Amino acid sequence: MSSPYTTRLAIPDVATYCHLRNASGLSPKTLEAASKGLPNSLFAVQVLQDNEIVGMGRIIGDGGCFYQVVDIAVLPEHQGRGLGKLIMREIMQYIEQQVPASAYVSLIADGQAHQLYAQFGFTHTAPKSVGMALKRQVGMAAREAACYSVGNACPTPACHLET
What is the CATH classification number for the domain harbouring 33?
3.40.630.30
Measured CA to CA, the distance from residue 134 to residue 49 in angstroms comes to 36
The pLDDT score that the predictor gives to residue 144 is: 57
The pLDDT score that the predictor gives to residue 80 is: 95
Domain region containing 133: 5-161
The pLDDT score that the predictor gives to residue 32 is: 96
Measured CA to CA, the distance from residue 133 to residue 161 in angstroms comes to 18
Asked if residue 161 has pLDDT above 50, the reply is no
Tell me the pLDDT band of 155, cut-offs 50, 70 and 90: very low
pLDDT tens profile 107-148: 999 889 999 999 999 999 988 998 888 988 776 555 555 555
Q: Among positive and negative, which fits the CA dihedral 136, 140, 141, 145? A: positive
CA-based end-to-end distance of the chain: 44
Asked if residue 157 has pLDDT above 80, the reply is no
Question: How many angstroms from the chain centroid is the CA of residue 58?
Answer: 6
The pLDDT score that the predictor gives to residue 2 is: 80
Asked if residue 93 has pLDDT above 90, the reply is yes
User: How confident is the model over 63-83, as a mean pLDDT?
Assistant: 98
Helix (H) / strand (E) element for 137: namely none
Check: CB of residue 47 under 8 Å from CB of residue 16.
no
Tell me the pLDDT band of 56, cut-offs 50, 70 and 90: very high
The pLDDT score that the predictor gives to residue 131 is: 87
Check: CB of residue 31 under 8 Å from CB of residue 146.
yes
Tell me the pLDDT band of 81, cut-offs 50, 70 and 90: very high
DSSP class of residue 127 equals T
- The neighbour count for residue 24, using CB atoms within 10 Å, is 19
Question: How many angstroms from the chain centroid is the CA of residue 83?
Answer: 12
Number of domains in the chain: 1
- The neighbour count for residue 90, using CB atoms within 10 Å, is 19
